[in-house]
Structure 1
Amino acid sequence: MSTERIVILGLGWLGEPLAKTLQAQGYRVAGTTTSESKAERLRRAGIGVQVWDINEPLPQAWPAALAAQTLVLCVPPGKVDDYATTLGRVAALAAEAGVQRLLFTSATSVYGGLGNKTEADAAPDSPRGERMLAAEQAVRHSGIAQVLCLRLSGLVGGSREPGRFLAGRRFEGGDEPVNLVAQEDLLRFIPAILAREDWPAVLNASAPHHPSRRDFYTEAALLRDLPPPQFDGGGEGKCIDGSALSGWLGLDYWVTDWFAWLAARKARD
């Protein structure tokens, strides 16, 4: 068991269960939230929490309560104004305070176009993708010695129920493949990454099963007794290759069949 201290900036959908997972593995864990009531709840669980909204003016120095060797930056773009600039400034503060490693939970929106996409293929074709790639570049130039950008596909599991995502609405691109990763796989992969020293610069997290949007979201909605989405047209789409992550770690994805995952999730409820 490790005694290293890890700070997670953003104790949300992924950050909170990750903090608890790392704590159970022996790490000393601290993190941030914007809610005082949530902070109190997590403090009672033994997690050191700083209430910090990085949309507010940043402090002159990194908070002493968040001193650590490793920082996990786990803040989605919808939560932050001027995303790339703000994250770059936060990471620079962390570097000045002695943070040596940064794991940034980026996104596969950095891949544009069609076809199979590996880590070398970043070429965004959307404002979201451009913003995310700019954020990667900003944290990479922050002064922190080791930076790993973990590009996450669509997030499901926990409170994120895919049956509700598209239910009852109409969309294009029914034949496009889904690119998803489950919370339970991330809670296996990220601790395994943190336990290693030989970080690559970029890795994709995307389950190896890519059914069509039509098939996946229809099944997900029906299992929740919701109206299924309707799709017009086909579409080739893009397929995110997440095999480098599992190969490097020597860990297979738990989710290798999304329909089995949907059924198992329904059975547990």
Structure 2
Amino acid sequence: MPTDNSVAILGLGWLGEPLARTLQAGGTRVCGTTTGADKAGWLNESGIAALVWDFNEPLPPCWPAALAADTLLLCVPPGKVADYAATLGGLARLAVAGGVRRILFTSATSVYGGSGVKREPDAAADSARGERMLAAEQAVRDSGARVLVLRLSGLVGGSRDPGRFLAGRRFEGGDEPVNLVALEDLLGFIPAILAREDWPDTLNVSAPHHPSRRDFYQRAARLRGLPPPEFDGGGEGKTIDGNALCRWLGMDYGVSDWFAWLAARRPLD
């Protein structure tokens, strides 16, 4: 049976694995899923109960006993699942039937279209990816659990090195602002969210510094010794406001200056 201090993470990947280790270190019982048997093996050896599960396969008739938990974290990237909304909705309903009480779903800020400042009520997708994420959000909400949707901006940190993202290529929209969140901030925010019961419905996660794509990615590439990207044109773009999260938690983003963050990650000569 699930306990109050237990979390199941579907997707022990770039975010899910370090988050599991952070929660485990804080005394939370953590279990989760991965698609690789080898990875599941060494996760289990380190105390994180990991189940091999391919979400492109038909869902089982009932929630696996190995994933019994009070809270479910859905950290499944859309590129890993063919029918994203239907699959996540099915997983959420299955989890609720298996005793899961709360679901934290890591969505994305692609649900915001157009330009200008975007806050939580402003979702209006103008891309296929954004529409797919909005559909997935609704499918998870329809599960009957208490759901908090975390709309994450671009993910950096850990193995995701922004200096390599665009190096040596040419793009439009050099004046558009970047909307990013660092892994280290997510590892601070999410445990604090899980410690509370008064969840809002939706929160954006986006650091408060929004330099232009040109300035950020060119500097990131140069600090890695890589050819910087070139940009044509300007572009207004959109700025994701992630301040509601800070007001609710009483916490600030650790990364408030992306240029300082890039410099701190510069390889030693």
> Normalising to structure 2: TM-score of the pair?
0.98
8 Å CA contact 1:88–1:138 kept in 2: the answer is yes
| 8 A Cα contact 1:171 1:232, kept in partner | yes
CA distance in 2 between partners of 1:143 and 1:33 (Å):
25
Q: Which residue of 2 aligns with 1:100?
A: 101
What are the superposed Cα offsets for residues 166-193 of structure 1, whole Å, 9 maximum, x if unpaired? 0000000000000000000000000000
Percent identity reads 75
Secondary structure of 1:266's counterpart equals coil
Q: Is the 8 A contact 1:3 1:27 kept in 2?
A: no
Distance 1:199 1:3 in 2: 16
SS of 2:245's equivalent in the other structure is helix
- The one-letter code sitting in structure 1 at the alignment partner of 2:9 is I
List per-residue Cα deviations over 1:57-97 (Å, max 9, x = no partner): 11000001101110000001001111000000000000111
Matched, 1:76 2:58: no
The Cα offsets for residues 134-165 of structure 1, whole Å up to 9 and x where unpaired, read as: 00000000121x10000000000000000000
Please tell me whether the aligned partners of residues 106 and 149 of structure 1 are also in contact (alpha carbons under 8 angstroms).
Answer: yes
Name the CA distance, whole Å, in 2 between partners of 1:89 and 1:153.
25
Task: Report the TM-score, using the length of structure 1 for normalisation.
Answer: 0.98
Cα deviation for residue 205 of structure 1 reads 0.3
- Alignment root-mean-square deviation, CA: 1.1
Instruction: Measure how far apart 1:49 and its partner are.
Output: 0.7
Which residue of the partner structure matches residue 199 of structure 1?
A: 199
* 1:214 matched residue in structure 2: 214
Deviation track 1:98-146 (CA, whole Å, cap 9, x = no partner) reads 11100000000000000000001000000000000000000000121x1
Superposition deviation, residue 268 in structure 1: 6.8
The equivalent of 1:85 in structure 2 is 86
Cα shift at 1:25: 0.4
Preserved CA contact (<8 Å) 2:224 2:267: no
Kindly provide the amino acid, as one letter, of the partner of residue 170 in structure 2. R
Aligned partner of residue 265 in structure 2, secondary structure: helix
TM-fit CA distance, 1:38: 0.3
Once the two structures are TM-superposed, the CA of residue 267 in structure 1 deviates from its matched residue by 5.1
Q: Specify the code of the residue in structure 2 equivalent to 1:19.
A: A
Residues 31-46 of structure 1 mapped to structure 2, 5 A cutoff? 31-46=32-47
Say if 2:223 is the partner of 1:249.
Answer: no
Measured in 2, the distance between the counterparts of 1:217 and 1:77 equals: 24
Number of aligned residue pairs: give it: 267
> Are the equivalent residues in 1 in contact too, given 2:182–2:255 (CA < 8 A)?
yes
Distance 1:225 1:132 in 2: 35
Residue ranges of structure 1 left out of the alignment (5+ in a row): none
SS of 2:134's partner is: helix
In the alignment, residue 254 of structure 1 is paired with which amino acid?
Answer: G
* Structure 2 CA distance for aligned equivalents of residues 249 and 42 of structure 1: 30
Cα distance in 1 for partners of 2:112, 2:173 equals 17
Which AA in structure 1 matches 2:212?
Answer: S
Residue 237 of structure 1 corresponds to 237
Please tell me whether the aligned partners of residues 11 and 33 of structure 1 are also in contact (alpha carbons under 8 angstroms). Answer: yes
5+ long unaligned stretches in structure 2: none
Q: 1:194: how far off?
A: 0.1
- Give the aligned partner of residue 174 of structure 2: 174
Letter in 2 for 1:195: A
Counterpart residue type for residue 194 of structure 1: L
The 8 Å contact of residues 210 and 239 in structure 2, kept in 1 or not, is answered as yes
Matching residue of 1:29: 30
